[in-house]
Amino acid sequence: DTAVSQTPKYLVTQMGNDKSIKCEQNLGHDTMYWYKQDSKKFLKIMFSYNNKELIINETVPNRFSPKSPDKAHLNLHINSLELGDSAVYFCASSQEAYRANEKLFFGSGTQLSVL
Amino acid sequence: AQSVSQHNHHVILSEAASLELGCNYSYGGTVNLFWYVQYPGQHLQLLLKYFSGDPLVKGIKGFEAEFIKSKFSFNLRKPSVQWSDTAEYFCAVSSSGNTGKLIFGQGTTLQVKP
């Protein structure tokens, strides 16, 4: 069983559309994250939820909205997609949020291409 | 602000060659340091981490890294690489109280020729 699974793996869409990426973890972790990897391979954190509560919210356009229906799920909804949103989005989870030496478990990524 | 710099963006080695990937970070306080690896078609996974104690840490698959505080460095090493080590390697840092926020370097693509 995949520990952190995200869908879809590939997402190709037109500018202006609204799309969602789903993420689920079956590790029983309390904390989940969304990271964005740009074309230069830099991975940057976008959001983090701990037990359905938002704890990290980096400078991300309001068009991006995370939603956590329960602690095993963290979905990412993107409104009015722009060309610059094209990237690989990684979901991750960790046992606890408030220990900086926590190991992260990553999903396999969603490659978003905005045309 | 914290940042992580990986000097080598693309490294090509032959099997059995020794490997050292550079990683430097900028942060004056207590840090936790990580190396993550992404094999082709797979997800990112932890290779090793340092948060206290012996500055020389050993990870999976024969990798090790040394934390040198005076140089703000955490270089990754392996004495003899294998073709299966072909992957993307990411250095990352977090600081105490940062609620699990990891700052990643740009990554290094390692290609090992058989």
pLDDT in single tens digits along all 115 residues of chain A: 679 999 999 999 999 999 999 999 999 999 999 999 988 888 999 998 888 888 888 878 899 999 999 989 999 999 999 999 999 999 999 987 666 677 899 999 999 999 9
By CA distance, what is B5's nearest residue in A?
Answer: A42
On the question of a cis peptide bond just before residue B40, with omega within 30 degrees of 0, the verdict is: no
Which chain A residues touch B88 with a CB distance below 8 Å? 41
Instruction: Classify burial at B34, counting beta carbons within 10 Å of its beta carbon; exposed 0-12, middle 13-18, buried 19 or more.
Output: buried
Asked if B100 lies within 8 A of A41 by C-beta distance, the reply is no
pLDDT digit string, tens, across residues B78-106: 999 999 999 999 999 987 665 568 889 99
Shortest CA gap B44–chain A (Å): 6
Residue B15 per-residue DSSP state: T
Helix (H) or strand (E) holding B47: strand B45-50
Give the span between the Cα atoms of B110 and B112, in whole angstroms. Answer: 6
State the Cα–Cα distance between residues A85 and A48, nearest whole angstrom: 19
Taking an 8 Å cut-off on Cβ atoms, the answer to whether B100 and A43 are in contact is no
Task: Please give the residue of chain A at the shortest CA–CA distance from B47.
Answer: A103
Closest residue in chain B to residue A100, using alpha carbons only: B100
Classified as helix, coil or strand, B55 is coil
Predicted confidence (pLDDT) per residue in B57-69, tens digit: 999 999 999 999 9
